[in-house]
Amino acid sequence: MTLGLINANPVVHAKKERVARNEDLHCDDAVDPLEIYDILNLILFFFSDIRDPEHPYSLEQLSVLSEESITVDDKLGRILITFTPTIQHCSMATIIGLCLRVKLQECFPPHYKVDIKVFPGSHADEEAVNKQLNDKERVAAALENPNLRQLVDECLYSNEL
Amino acid sequence: MELKEIQTLEGHSDKVWGLSWNPATGTSDIPPVFASCSGDKTVRIWEQNSSNRLWHCKAVLEETHTRTVRSCAWSPSGKLLATASFDATTAIWENIGGDFECVSTLEGHENEVKSVSWNASGSLLATCSRDKTVWIWEVMAGNEFECVSVLQGHTQDVKMVKWHPTMDVLFSCSYDNTVKVWAEDGTGDWECVQTLGESNNGHSSTVWAFAFNAEGDRMVTCSDDLTLKIWKTDVGRMQSSDDLAPWTHLCTLSGYHDRTIFSVHWSREGIIASGAADDALRFFVESKDGLVDSSSYKLLLKKEKAHDMDINSVQWGPGA
């Protein structure tokens, strides 16, 4: 499937140093935003090098996802992810969002409500992308599409270390 | 006042998306029956045991749909069950000697079929899809179905279709934030006779579902915009003329839901039930405050954590 990623010269930012953390990602207690960040980083990294192996930067460096863009409300059981597609018209935005959602569903208890949005002002079709990403019927149908499912699986599982 | 859970029915191995009560059951001598449909690609038929009042699964309709079954609807006679699937087909099932057999498969939609509805007399069937169209099928002898119209007009995914309870007028709601009303123009062609959008006090996001009151002069719609809206039509005009009486906005119930409302249903006694993405059930009734022309609705009861996850469908059952 052609992905059409167009990002020849990504802007790279210095990666922040972080203290090593517990590797157990399947926590049923309080959900740590930093854990989510690590999981999602793996996914987004996939997109940064899938068409452009010469730019294997993490998406934090490409400013797609930062620790500030993950909000968790443990009491209500809600997670909000805000990500920034690297360019304004990124056609991959909905696919990236779909992969993020599938990964979150796998890692966290089913009662968590997950909302995924593009960072305000970061995409030309912001409203349209957000609407699709948060329509659970559309998400469910998309994941039954073999082509899309294969892409999502490649993203989620080809990077498992 | 409280809501008490009688039983949890297990069996499906994936999300349960919809359910439909068999209208020919639930009477004094026929135990109630309903069908449920799921992401596990099957439909289950459930019946209540009259002696111990417990529900059990009496049939599993499987190996037909190849993707999620999103919605199901019994014909008014209770003899046929239509099931709409993400596999782009609508299957028609008949109970033949205790076994449910797929007697017909309706093809034509380009992608996922979201909803299916029979008209009051059972002579027409309507389906809708992500392909933005609504199809009307005529029910012929021998379980044959003929498509008589493909209705275009919605600009996005059509989430639900339902026939008016007494007239052959069809309603549909969509990801395009509108509700459309379709009727025959007198020469056998179907056309959109009204669109309820933002300009007529309509919803500002996807309209997921709607329901009519028993009299058919009120309709409630529910949406991703977190509101329920009540609409009305002129009863007298509706019954007496060929002209279709327009629907107008009566009131909006906002501030009660903080996540998407997926389903709404109006009981015969006038109680509106809503099912939402916060796992809660809410019940609303009209509150008459003595003013002739005004109408408002109040929250009767909220049942939090009615389910462990989003509620996809609410349907009032037959009788008490």
- Split at pLDDT 50, 70, 90, the class of B290 is low
| Residue A49 banded pLDDT, cuts 50, 70, 90 | very low
Q: How far is CA B111 from the centre of its chain?
A: 20
> What six digits make up the tokens of B301?
């009861």
Tell me what the pLDDT averaged over chain B comes to: 94
Confidence of residue B247 (pLDDT cuts 50, 70, 90): very high
Whether B224 and A135 lie within 8 Å, measured CB to CB? yes
Q: Which residues of B touch A131 (CB under 8 A)?
A: 175, 205-206
| Chain B interface mutation, best of A137, A144, A149, highest count of B Cβ atoms under 10 Å | A137
pLDDT at A75: 83
| Contact: B157, A131; criterion CB under 8 Å | no
Residue A156 has what pLDDT? 74
What pLDDT is recorded for position A99?
84
For residues A59 and A36, the model is more confident at A36
Whole-prediction pTM value? Answer: 0.89
- B308 contacts A110? CB cut-off 8 A: yes
pLDDT tens-digit readout, A123-149: 888 999 999 999 999 999 999 999 999
Q: What is the mean pLDDT of residues A64-75?
A: 72
Which residues of chain B does A110 touch, with a Cβ-Cβ cutoff of 8 Å? 308-309
Distance (Å, whole) CA B123 – CA B140 = 8
Nearest to A128 by CA among A72, A85, A79, A71: A85
Residue entry with tokens 């021998």: B142
- Tell me the percentage of chain B whose pLDDT exceeds 70: 96
Q: Report the distance separating Cα B20 and Cα B36, nearest Å.
A: 7
pLDDT tens, B94-144?
999 889 999 999 999 999 999 999 999 999 999 999 999 999 999 999 999
C-alpha B165/C-alpha A84 separation (Å) is 47
Which pLDDT band, with edges at 50, 70 and 90, does A6 fall under?
very low
Condensed to tens digits (0 to 9), the pLDDT of residues B169-213 reads 999 999 999 999 999 988 889 999 999 999 999 999 999 999 999
Q: Which helix (H) or strand (E) holds A130?
A: helix A126-133
Q: Helix, strand or coil for residue A81?
A: strand
pLDDT for res B241: 61
Comparing CB atoms, the residue among A113, A136, A141 nearest residue B86 is A141
Task: Please give the mean pLDDT across all residues of chain A.
Answer: 69
Q: Kindly report the nearest CA distance between residue B308 and chain A, in angstroms.
A: 6
- Least confident interval from A110-124, B5-19, B94-108: A110-124
Give the confidence band of A89 by pLDDT, cuts at 50, 70, 90.
Answer: low
Dist CA B77 CA B55 (whole Å) = 22
Cβ distance of B70 and A137 shorter than 8 Å: yes
Of how many residues is chain A composed? 161
Question: How much is the pLDDT for B14?
Answer: 97
SS3 letters across chain B: CCCCCCCCCCCCCCCEEEEEECCCCCCCCCCCEEEEEECCCCEEEEEECCCCCCEEEEEEECCCCCCCEEEEEECCCCCEEEEEECCCCEEEEEEECCEEEEEEEECCCCCCEEEEEECCCCCEEEEEECCCCEEEEEEEHHHEEEEEEEECCCCCCEEEEEECCCCCCEEEEECCCCEEEEEECCCCCEEEEEEECHHHCCCCCCEEEEEECCCCCEEEEEECCCCEEEEECCHHHHHHCCCCCCCEEEEEECCCCCCCEEEEEECCCCCEEEEECCCCEEEEEEECCCCCCCCEEEEEEEECCCCCCCCCCCCCCCCC
B231: confidence class by pLDDT, cuts 50, 70, 90: very high
Contact flag A111-B310 (C-beta cutoff 8 Å): no
Residue contact B277–A144, C-beta within 8 A: no
Is the CB of A113 less than 8 angstroms away from the CB of B259? yes
Least confident of B141-145, B236-240, B244-248, B267-271: B236-240
**Chain B within 8 Å of A6 (Cβ-Cβ)?**
no
In chain B, residues with a C-beta closer than 8 Å to the C-beta of A111 are 279, 308-309
Q: Is 70 exceeded by the pLDDT of residue A25?
A: no
